[in-house]
Amino acid sequence: MDELKLLNNYLIREVAERKRAELYAAEHANNYRTLYNNSYDGYLILSEDYRVIEFNQAFTEITGYTEKDLVGNCILDVIGDNYVSIIEKRGKLSLAQKKMPNLTLDIKDKKGDRLVLQTQRVVINQNNDSYVSLVILKDVTEQTIATEKLARSEVLYRTLYRNTNDSILIMNNDVLVDYNIMAQKLYPNIQVSNKDIPYVDVNKDFGVLNESVHLGHKLSLAFRGKTQIFEWVHTHVDPQKPVYTLVNITPLKELGDYFYMVVERDITESKKSQNLVLNSIIQTEENERKRISSDLHDGIGPILTTIKLYTQALMDESSSDKKEFIKTKLTSLVDEAVNSISEIAFNISPHILVNYGIIAAIESFIAKLNLSEKFKIIFSHNDVQRLDKNKEITVYRIFTELINNAIKYAKTTKVTFHIEENQYGINLHYRDNGIGFNKEEIGKKKAGMGLQNLRNRVQSFNGKFVLNSELGRGVEVKMWLPKANRL
- Average confidence (pLDDT) over 125-131: 69
Q: How far is CA 230 from CA 180, 246, 338, in A?
A: 21, 6, 53
**In whole angstroms, what is the distance from residue 396 CA to residue 351 CA?**
12
**In whole angstroms, what is the distance from residue 389 CA to residue 330 CA?**
39
H helical segments located in 224-267: none
Q: What is the mean pLDDT of the chain?
A: 80
Least confident of 169-173, 289-293, 348-352, 409-413: 348-352
Report yes or no: 116 and 139 within 8 Å, Cβ to Cβ. Answer: yes
**In whole angstroms, what is the distance from residue 170 CA to residue 180 CA?**
9
- Whole-prediction pTM value? 0.47
Residue extent(s) of CATH 3.30.565.10 domains in the chain: 349-487
Q: 433, 440, 388: which is closest to 411 by C-alpha?
A: 433
Least confident of 216-225, 351-360, 420-429: 351-360
- Average confidence (pLDDT) over 89-99: 71
Could you give the angle at which helices 268-295 and 446-459 cross, rounded to 10 degrees? Answer: 120
- What is the separation, in whole angstroms, between the first and last Cα of the chain? 128
- Average confidence (pLDDT) over 435-458: 70
Least confident of 82-96, 264-278, 297-311, 357-371: 297-311
Pick the CATH number of 164-266 from 3.30.450.20, 2.40.50.40, 3.40.50.300, 3.30.420.40: 3.30.450.20
Q: Which residue has the higher pLDDT, 289 or 136?
A: 136
Least confident of 141-145, 320-324, 378-382: 320-324
| pLDDT surpasses 80 at 483 | no
| pLDDT surpasses 50 at 487 | no
pLDDT the model gives residue 15? 63
Residue 397 pLDDT grade (very low, low, confident, very high; cuts 50, 70, 90): confident
Cα Dmax for the chain: 186
CATH topology of domain 349-487: Heat Shock Protein 90 (3.30.565)
Q: 262, 237, 240, 265: which is closest to 251 by C-alpha?
A: 262
**In whole angstroms, what is the distance from residue 240 CA to residue 41 CA?**
70
**In whole angstroms, what is the distance from residue 286 CA to residue 282 CA?**
6
| pLDDT surpasses 60 at 217 | yes
Compute the radius of gyration of the chain from its Cα atoms.
Answer: 46
At 389, is the secondary structure helix, strand, or coil?
A: helix
At 243, is the secondary structure helix, strand, or coil?
A: strand
| pLDDT surpasses 60 at 485 | no
Residue extent(s) of CATH 3.30.450.20 domains in the chain: 35-144, 164-266
Phi-psi region of 72 (alpha: psi -120 to 50; beta: other; left: phi over 0): left
pLDDT tens for 248-289 read: 999 998 888 889 999 999 998 888 877 776 676 667 667 777
| pLDDT surpasses 50 at 486 | no
Pick the CATH number of 35-144 from 3.40.50.460, 3.40.50.150, 3.40.50.720, 3.30.450.20: 3.30.450.20
pLDDT the model gives residue 111? 92
Percent of the chain with pLDDT over 90: 19
| Count of all residues that appear for the chain in the document | 487
**In whole angstroms, what is the distance from residue 178 CA to residue 162 CA?**
11
pLDDT the model gives residue 347? 63
